[in-house]
């Protein structure tokens, strides 16, 4: 009988805190969201680092390997930001900005205020390029598109993730304004 009374007391205690179930569910969803974001970002970093390793190993600097009439593989050392811009700012600047951006994206993912997959793409891309900057002093770019007189600057998997993430973020912001 004392066990029954104890169970009844516990049941009443749960009813006093109606938000507790909501908090548990929110915590589970947050853990799932964070885990999925880590998997997305981790997959981007892994693919980025493997492809950059292959480019550094099998493509000599400034060598061009034609894959398609509009697609070449190259080995370019990018010391700037996207498209080599701001290369005079120095590696320490880009490392600092990358770390700050990654920390901000992690905060957004954990807080759950935005689409975590977009921020996972951005965090994975930033982390992939950050690893290069810290270990090599530059970012390896190896994918090069060009047709006729039009040429796109060389880029890598991390840059692609950053670009897709930015486009998705812009679309999300535009949808939110409608």
Residues 114-142 have pLDDT tens digits of 688 999 999 999 999 999 999 999 999 99
Give the 3-state secondary structure of residue 87.
helix
Cα–Cα distance, 51 to 74 (Å, whole number): 12
Residue 67 lies in a domain: yes
The yes-or-no verdict on residue 44 having pLDDT over 80 is yes
Range of the domain at 48: 31-177
Least confident range from 17-21, 89-93, 99-103: namely 17-21
Residue 18 lies in a domain: no
Looking at every residue in the chain, the average pLDDT score rounds to 85
Q: What is the mean pLDDT of residues 14-40?
A: 69
Cα–Cα distance, 163 to 144 (Å, whole number): 15
pTM metric for this prediction: 0.79
Cα–Cα distance, 128 to 161 (Å, whole number): 10
Alpha helices, DSSP H only, in the chain?
2-16, 19-58, 91-111, 116-135, 157-177
Residue 17 lies in a domain: no
Assess whether 115 carries a catalytic annotation.
Answer: no
Residue 10 lies in a domain: no
The yes-or-no verdict on residue 24 having pLDDT over 80 is no
Least confident range from 27-31, 63-67, 70-74, 114-118: namely 27-31
What total of structural domains would you count in the chain?
A: 1
Residue 160, C-beta contacts closer than 8 angstroms, at least 6 positions apart: 125, 143
CA distances from 153 to 12, 69, 72, 77 (A): 65, 16, 11, 12
The yes-or-no verdict on residue 46 having pLDDT over 90 is yes
Q: What is the per-residue pLDDT for 68? A: 95
Assess whether 141 carries a catalytic annotation.
Answer: yes
Among the options 48, 72, 132, 159, which is catalytic?
159
Residue 3 lies in a domain: no
Residue 162 lies in a domain: yes
Cα–Cα distance, 136 to 8 (Å, whole number): 64
What tokens does 94 get? 């880009």
Quickly state the pLDDT bin for 171 (edges 50, 70, 90).
Answer: very high
Percentage of the chain lying above the pLDDT 70 cut: 78
Sheet with 139-147: list strands edge to edge: 64-68, 71-78, 139-147, 150-155
How many CB atoms neighbour CB 82 within 10 A?
16
Among the options 48, 72, 132, 141, which is catalytic?
141
The yes-or-no verdict on residue 26 having pLDDT over 80 is no
Alpha-carbon radius of gyration of the chain: 23
């Amino acid at each position: 009988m004392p066990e029954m009374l104890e169970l009844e007391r516990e049941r009443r205690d749960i009813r006093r805190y109606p938000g507790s179930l909501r908090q548990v569910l929110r915590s589970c969803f947050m853990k799932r969201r964070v885990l999925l974001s880590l998997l997305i970002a981790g997959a981007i970093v892994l693919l980025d680092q493997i492809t950059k390793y292959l480019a550094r190993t099998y493509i000599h600097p400034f060598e061009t390997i034609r894959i398609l009439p509009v697609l070449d593989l190259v080995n370019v050392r990018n010391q700037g930001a996207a498209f080599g811009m701001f290369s005079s700012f120095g590696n320490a600047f880009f490392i600092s900005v990358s770390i700050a951006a990654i920390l901000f994206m992690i905060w957004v993912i954990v807080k759950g205020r935005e689409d975590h997959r977009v921020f996972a793409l951005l965090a994975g891309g930033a982390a992939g390029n950050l690893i290069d900057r810290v270990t090599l002093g530059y970012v390896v770019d190896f994918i090069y598109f060009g047709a006729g007189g039009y040429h796109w600057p060389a880029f890598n998997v991390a840059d692609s993730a950053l670009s897709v993430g930015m486009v998705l973020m812009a679309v999300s912001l535009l949808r939110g304004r409608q």
